[in-house]
Amino acid sequence: MSIIKTVENDIKKIIKDSGYEIESFVLQPSNRKDLGDYQINDCMSLAKIYHESPISIAEKIKKELEKDLRFKDINIAGPGFINLSFSDDFLIQALNQMHDDLKSNIDQQESKTIVLDYGGANVSKALHVGHLRSANLGEALKRLARLLGHKVISDAHLGDFGRPLGLVILEIKKRYPNLAYFDESYQGNYEEIELPITNKDLEEIYPYASTKAKTDEAYLEEARIITTKFQQHERGYYDILKKIVEISRKEIKKVYDFLNIEYDLWEGESDASNYVNELFQILKDQELLVESEGAKIVEVKEENENSPMPPLLLVTSSGAISYQTTDLATILERKHKINPDEIWYCADLRQQLHFEQVFRATRKAKLVDDSVKLEYIGFGTMNGSDGKPFKTRDGGVMSLKSLLELVKTETKKRINYDIVQAQKVEETANIITVATIKYADFLSFRGTDYIFSPEKFSDVEGKTGPYILYSTIRMKSLLLKGQSEIQEKSSRINNNIDRDIIITLLNLPNVLTKSYEIKSLNDIADYLYTLTSKYNKFYAENKILQEENEELKQSWLVLTKTVYNLNLLLLDILGLKVPEKM
Ligand code: ARG
The DSSP line for 321-353 is B-HHHHHHHHHHHHHHHT--SEEEEEEEGGGHH
**Helix, strand, coil fractions of the chain, as percent rounded to 5:** 55, 10, 35
Mutate to test the pocket of ligand 1, among 115, 153, 157 (most ligand atoms within 8 A of CB): 157
My answer on whether 81 and 212 are in the same domain is no
Mutate to test the pocket of ligand 1, among 129, 131, 375 (most ligand atoms within 8 A of CB): 131
Asked whether 157 lines ligand 1 (CB < 6 A), one says: yes
Asked whether 578 lines ligand 1 (CB < 6 A), one says: no
Residue 38: phi and psi, rounded to 5, are -135, 165
My answer on whether 404 and 553 are in the same domain is yes
Ligand 1 center to 159 CA (angstroms): 6
Domain that holds residue 183: 163-258
Residue 500 lies in a domain: yes
pLDDT of 479 reads: 94
Residue 98 lies in a domain: no
Choose the final residue of a domain: 28, 57, 86: 86
Ligand 1 center to 158 CA (angstroms): 7
pLDDT of 330 reads: 98
Alpha-helix runs per DSSP H in 29-175: 43-50, 54-65, 88-100, 129-147, 163-175
pLDDT of 524 reads: 98
Residue 239 lies in a domain: yes
Residue 15 lies in a domain: yes
Choose the final residue of a domain: 258, 282, 317: 258
Chain Cα centroid distance, residue 499: 31
Asked whether 345 lines ligand 1 (CB < 6 A), one says: yes
Asked whether 159 lines ligand 1 (CB < 6 A), one says: yes
pLDDT of 385 reads: 85
Closest residue by Cα to residue 530 from 134, 31, 96: 31
Residue 411 lies in a domain: yes
Choose the final residue of a domain: 225, 258, 291: 258
Ligand 1 center to 141 CA (angstroms): 17
**Residue 131 CA, closest ligand 1 atom number:** 4
Closest residue by Cα to residue 518 from 575, 465, 450, 447: 447
Put simply, whether the predicted model's pTM sits higher than 0.85 gets the answer: yes
My answer on whether 76 and 173 are in the same domain is no
Are β-strands 450-451 and 151-155 bridged in parallel, bridged antiparallel, or unpaired? unpaired
CATH number where 48 lies? 3.30.1360.70
H or E element, residue 279: helix 276-285
pLDDT of 485 reads: 67
The Cα 366–Cα 305 span in angstroms is 21
Q: Which residue ranges in the chain fall short of pLDDT 70?
A: 485
Asked whether 344 lines ligand 1 (CB < 6 A), one says: no
Question: Atom 2 (ligand 1): residue with closest C-alpha?
Answer: 120
Q: Specify the number of domains making up the chain.
A: 3
Asked whether 43 lines ligand 1 (CB < 6 A), one says: no
Residue 462 lies in a domain: yes
Asked whether 119 lines ligand 1 (CB < 6 A), one says: no
Question: Atom 10 (ligand 1): residue with closest C-alpha?
Answer: 327
Asked whether 120 lines ligand 1 (CB < 6 A), one says: yes
CA distances from 414 to 342, 439, 465 (A): 43, 17, 13
My answer on whether 67 and 183 are in the same domain is no
